Structure 1
Amino acid sequence: MDKAFRRWRWPLAVLLVAAAGGLSIAPLQPRWWWVSALAILLFSMPVIVGAVRWLGARRGALLLLGLGLYALVFESLAVATGFPYGRFHYSGILGPPLLGLAPPTVLLAWTPLLLGSLASTRRWWQAVVLAVVCDLVLDPAAVGLGFWAWDEPGRYYGVPLVNFLGWVLSAGIAVLVLRRLRLPQPLPGLFARNLWLVLVFWTAVNAWQGHWLAVGVGVVTIVALSPAYRRVP
């Protein structure tokens, strides 16, 4: 899979830009939530494969499950209380929410961003910063597609500032815990290459929606990570 990512990077990027356009022109409805779930699974598959190859089936599965449950708890807490991302709600496009809070697809959606950020950087704080930057690209696009919305929309394309402060907290805790686990180094380059393609997709969604500040953040990040795409093992 990793060799395929290297060889087909640009065709995959073009395909994702086209997919972003189709999704922006004809947004999904809650009854088609399984399409969103399938897309999240496809975006997560390189990370699942990479984690198993990196740590073995048992440890890799435990890592992915642990990070997924961690994200699900944080998302559910925010929906219920507003902490730490601000009070928001899911529309149902990503799947029926558990207990009326966050959909189970969150188990797979957050982990590729975190592991991709770790694989693309050298220091723990850089990984946290990159994760927040990724959210600066992802959240405006997702809000534009109607995946979720804040009860009190913020000025950044409907996203409040507190959301990004919450990402500093959640990503920071996760990165520090992973450092204490002393996982084998370096992390698989497949994580970084997957993150690059994820950013291409969400940047394209923002472009189709006219979120030009978010597009600028995405393009700069994609260009900055391009050398890492080739360099990481």
Structure 2
Amino acid sequence: MEEATRDRRRSGEVGGAEGSGIPAARVVFVVAGAILLIAMVAAQVASGLEPRPVRLTSVVVLLLAAAAVAFAAADHGLPRAATAFAATAAVGYAAEWIGIRTGVPFGEYRYTDVLWPRLGGVPLIVALAWGGMGLAAHAVARAVAGPRTTPGAAFTSPGTKARAVAARPEAAPGQAARRFDSTLRRVVAGAPALTAWDLFLDPQMIRLGLWTWADPGPYRGVPISNFAGWLVVSMLVMALIDKVLTRPARGPVPKGTGLVTIYTVMAVMETLGFAAVFDPPDLLVAAVGGTCMGVFVLLAWRRRWPR
């Protein structure tokens, strides 16, 4: 009994703020994430009304990244959240660094002198955008594909699991296969979810003059190779985040509500922006991006709706 209670305390199920069963640290991170998300929305609205919206681009991305880390910390703890964010930002930066030099994997492009600071020709704010939306897209994938743990496993202590595997050695290979299948489903769901965001991002950044393509493509000047590259890099990003954040849980499996909310807010704001706020509006981008991100939003929230 005491061992079970200790496991539940470590998982965050018992103890916490005012006897509610929610750890005080989690409450702080959720509140911080909500405040940062509201500030991000305000900055996005202001950028839509600003004659030179590029001035607020970095502010929006910084608030997005901070909100994503805060919500991830509420679900997984700050060390894991910070590690996942840093690793994702590093992968995004590496992909961009290679991309502007070789044209792989996105196609030939270059950044203009608008965004700064830059390291090796890549604006650091771009790496933060990969990190923030990477965490959000992984939470969407988790909601769509389901958690790694099996029903009832969330409250099983490590000692109990070890004894069960020892008693039934044949269960270990099956469990590993199930975990791999769950991870694969999250990677397959998360990569297009993150790529869907770029259906908004690239046309908007081209409008603002933040980067240019050597050979403009059919989608508002964006080549198809860009989206193929995004899928490849996004799969690596999803696998990396999954490795850091996902593990057999001792407590309730995190739902990632805050991160899914970030993804939802970005989908709504970008759709409204291209449909009615930007000058001139672009109904094609609003329809394509809104539909693609909207599908993942609906799938991610479906389990939270009453049936």
Query: Normalising by the residue count of structure 1, what TM-score does the alignment of the two structures yield?
Result: 0.81
Gaps of 5+ in 2: 1-28, 146-185, 248-252
What root-mean-square deviation, in Å, do the aligned CA atoms of Structure 1 and Structure 2 show? 3.1
Instruction: Quote how far apart the aligned CAs of 1:112 are.
Output: 2.4
Instruction: Quote how far apart the aligned CAs of 1:227 are.
Output: 7.1
Q: Hey, what's the Cα distance between the residues in 2 that align with 1:132 and 1:161?
A: 12
Deviates more, 1:89-98 or 1:146-155: 89-98
1:104 and 2:124 correspond: yes
Secondary structure in structure 2 of the residue aligned to 1:86: coil
Structure 2 counterpart of 1:26, one-letter code = R
Of all paired residues, the percent bearing the same amino acid is: 25
Instruction: Quote how far apart the aligned CAs of 1:55 are.
Output: 2.7
Gaps of 5+ in 1: none
Structure 2 counterpart of 1:52, one-letter code = A
Pick 1 or 2: higher relative contact order, CA cutoff 8 A, min separation 6.
Answer: 1
Instruction: Quote how far apart the aligned CAs of 1:199 are.
Output: 2.2
1:169-224 Cα offsets, whole Å, 9 max, x none, are 00112223334446144452111111111223333343324322210023334654
Q: Hey, what's the Cα distance between the residues in 2 that align with 1:73 and 1:102?
A: 9
Larger Rg: 2
Match of 1:201 in 2: 269
Secondary structure in structure 2 of the residue aligned to 1:94: coil
Q: Hey, what's the Cα distance between the residues in 2 that align with 1:227 and 1:49?
A: 23
Q: Hey, what's the Cα distance between the residues in 2 that align with 1:222 and 1:170?
A: 18
Structure 2 counterpart of 1:112, one-letter code = G
Instruction: Quote how far apart the aligned CAs of 1:154 are.
Output: 1.2
Match of 1:144 among 172, 194, 207: 207
Structure 1 counterpart of 2:52, one-letter code = A
Contact 1:134-1:218 at 8 Å conserved across structures? yes
> How do 1:145-164 and structure 2 match up within 5 A?
145-164=208-227
Q: Hey, what's the Cα distance between the residues in 2 that align with 1:202 and 1:138?
A: 9
Instruction: Quote how far apart the aligned CAs of 1:62 are.
Output: 1.5
Q: How many residues get paired?
A: 223
Instruction: Quote how far apart the aligned CAs of 1:37 are.
Output: 2.5
1:122-178 Cα offsets, whole Å, 9 max, x none, are 232121121121111221112112122212211211111000000110011222333
The alpha-carbon distance between structure 1 residues 82 and 226, as it changes in their structure 2 partners (threshold 3 A), is same
Secondary structure in structure 2 of the residue aligned to 1:110: helix
Query: Normalising by the residue count of structure 2, what TM-score does the alignment of the two structures yield?
Result: 0.63
Contact 1:86-1:160 at 8 Å conserved across structures? yes
Match of 2:78 in 1: 57
